Structure 1
Amino acid sequence: MLQVSRSRSRSAFTLVELLVVIAIIGILVGLLLPAVQAAREAARRMQCSNNFKQISLALHNYHDTFRSLPPAWADWDGLWASPLQTAHANAAILPQLEGSSIEDRYDYNVRWDHANNAELATLMPATYQCPSTPNAGESEPTSGFQTSDYTYIRSDTGWITDPSPNHSMFEQNEFRKFRDVLDGLSNTIMQYESAGRTTLYVHGRQTTPPAWWTGEYRAWAGHFDSSWMYPFQVTVDPAGGPPNVTYFVGSDVINVANWGSPYSFHPGGIHISLADGSVRFVTESIDLETLSGYTSIDGNEVVEEIP
């Protein structure tokens, strides 16, 4: 018996329908992508804040042991003060950051960049890196040492402008004690973000760094890895040379440039740690007088609480 085959018509997308589906998928992806990026940045920002908490706890544990904080501006060669031949804070607190095996290799009897300390160049703890920084943990070109995305405040905003400047948490060659902080530990900045210092960033754009900006100021173990919070303006050289800098002008302090000044790759602001160990996110629009009050340990300023 013969079987009669019956052909069935099969439905299929028309070209127009296919294009509509592709367009809808594209719109959905376009709507979803910013949300995914925002979620990722929120996670990175949380990790960065946690890094600050760990470093703050390490500094407090160091202070409990040695009755002072380690210096973060150690003038080993006596360029501006009597020589202070000791390790920078980043190296000194390694045991408190579960980095005793790294600290054991550090030779306190020589400069940070001596051949005896060369193996530490790429042993920087991940705690010193912000996950939002592009290529975080890269080595800077003049010393070969990795660069930390966090730095210590070494001068208050009155360093030049005030006839009798106050003091900061990590002044030159100081083994600061918490009892020195007369403004209160919760009103005094200890550390802040200065990220991406493998290269120079000005308003999000990479450019040529000045000749003086060597590994001494950028390397994670460098003796001068600490800096300031001043209002300043930077003009990038269109020919590609070092930028022109004017200090103490305007009101821009945060996210202008990253040669030790406050700078991060988080949208809208930076993390800071206060001397009480707490961590805050400071926006670019913070009142200048409020920020200034947090830079000194004994300025007697009345400051608003940073949320």
Structure 2
Amino acid sequence: MKSSFSARRASHGFTLVELLVVIAIIGVLVGLLLPAVQAAREAARRMSCSNNLKQLGLAVHNYHSAYNKMPMHGGGTWQDGAAVGSNLTNRMDLSIWVGLTPFFEQQALWEQVVNPLSNAGGTPNPWPAMGPETNEGDYSPWSTEIPTLRCPSDPGTGLPALGRTNYAASLGDSIHYMGLGKLGIDNTPGSETITLTNASTHSSETRAACRGAFVAHQQTSFRDILDGLANTIIAGEIATDLGDRNIRTIAAVGNDSGAETVRDEPDLCLHEGLTDNTRPQFWATGTPPTLAASNEGRGYRWASAGAAFSAINTILPPNRELCFGGPSANTYGIASVSSQHQGGAHVLMGDGAVRFITDSIEAGDVHHGNVWSGGIGESVPGSISPYGLWGALGTRAGKEVASLE
């Protein structure tokens, strides 16, 4: 009787082989479902990213309704002769996002910026109205992470960045004077006592080359966008730097006084062989290339108008390399849109529409020099963009026939 009971009891269990088969089946199902789950999560993140850019577009329109102009790229305060690092002013280095903060539910942050803020015994004390220089990490507004300015697909966080941004203002299809503007302001290291001027040279150079929706240190409005709001990019998505030498998120910088310049050869950094032969999406190790400083990664300062931090141009197509011609990523260079999404990046059109631009967009001749005052042939001022549909979408008054439809 006892052995019969034991046999019946044993018949209700699973054998080791059966358990292994069940575990294997579960493993296969998980393997099949996990990519689908990850794809669904990325789709949700991408939609959230698009919605953030849409909210910023509404903020631009509300700002324009209030002031009949768009926020200034490179606005702020200035004091002639003030040394870099004195923090007496922000040296007219504020991005468009600073002025837009009250229009995308950041009124409390705006109140901190617009009023003098206690510096807890530091110098200056208090921080000046409109804030100190944008690389000042002790000034809390500049270090604030603003959810509306972050794409959920971008994992970047923490130092050496301050408050990051995944969105940047469109400055057109030329790098010439993209950081100087008609005021000729130079925020590169060493420009310690530069005097603010409004020389006719700066104005004429800016008129010739600065063809985007935003112009450094100059106010623009919707009426300046003669190509039509629906056909003109006013902002775009950027991926922030993760410290991995990615060619999209940290700039290769050099001396632009040589015979061949980034302005005249947009893909100069590729010609110079600065990328890793085995990993072409990353810069090679060693010198060259000379990379931007570790605190000058893409999107590292939401408050700064520096080219690497909150500016794009429509020269090289999406997700191409950052190639700068000056000694700093604060100055000028090739700075296309980029993202952690597969195959492209979002842009914001002047009418508030958000579009996803693929890496394969028609971009004309990427070896062609930029349009500027000294350009020749198809680079003379007033020419249509040399960079095809992509370049045409970045100009506000190029009179090109350009549409994403």
TM-score by length of 2: 0.60
Matched with 1:295 is 394
CA contact (8 A) 1:155 1:167 kept: yes
Please say which of residues 283-292 and 51-60 is displaced more in the overlay.
283-292
Matched with 2:95 is 88
In 2 relative to 1, CA 95–198 (structure 1 residues): closer, same or farther, beyond 3 Å? farther
1:122 alignment partner AA: S
Residue of structure 2 aligned with 1:168, choices 193, 212, 234: 212
3-state secondary structure, aligned to 1:105: helix
Matched with 1:284 is 359
In 2 relative to 1, CA 149–176 (structure 1 residues): closer, same or farther, beyond 3 Å? same
CA contact (8 A) 1:56 1:277 kept: yes
Matched with 1:270 is 345
Matched with 2:312 is 227
Matched with 2:233 is 189
Note the C-alpha offset of 1:10: 1.8
| Structure 1 Cα separation of the partners of residues 56 and 130 of structure 2 | 25
Stretches of structure 1 that go unaligned for 5 or more consecutive residues are 232-252
- What does residue range 31-42 of structure 1 map to in structure 2 within 5 Å? 31-42=32-43
Note the C-alpha offset of 1:218: 3.4
| Structure 1 Cα separation of the partners of residues 38 and 220 of structure 2 | 41
3-state secondary structure, aligned to 1:41: helix
| Structure 1 Cα separation of the partners of residues 390 and 337 of structure 2 | 12
Residue of structure 1 aligned with 2:300, choices 218, 223, 233: 218
When the two structures are aligned, how many residues end up with a matched partner? Answer: 273
Does residue 1:202 correspond to 2:202, yes or no? no
| Structure 2 Cα separation of the partners of residues 109 and 85 of structure 1 | 10
Residue of structure 2 aligned with 1:130, choices 145, 151, 155: 151
Stretches of structure 2 that go unaligned for 5 or more consecutive residues are 81-89, 115-128, 178-206, 249-280, 323-328, 330-334, 364-387
1:232-267 deviations in Å (ceiling 9; x for gaps): xxxxxxxxxxxxxxxxxxxxx211346743110011
Matched with 2:188 is none
Matched with 2:204 is none
CA contact (8 A) 2:175 2:313 kept: no
| Structure 1 Cα separation of the partners of residues 154 and 299 of structure 2 | 18
Q: CA RMSD in A?
A: 3.2
Note the C-alpha offset of 1:116: 10
In 2 relative to 1, CA 150–268 (structure 1 residues): closer, same or farther, beyond 3 Å? same
CA contact (8 A) 1:140 1:215 kept: no
Note the C-alpha offset of 1:229: 2.7
In 2 relative to 1, CA 211–126 (structure 1 residues): closer, same or farther, beyond 3 Å? same
| Structure 2 Cα separation of the partners of residues 282 and 274 of structure 1 | 11
2:167 alignment partner AA: Y
Note the C-alpha offset of 1:18: 2.5
Identity of aligned residues (%): 35
Please say which of residues 193-202 and 98-107 is displaced more in the overlay.
193-202
CA contact (8 A) 1:94 1:102 kept: yes
Matched with 2:319 is 255
CA contact (8 A) 2:214 2:234 kept: yes
Matched with 2:141 is 120
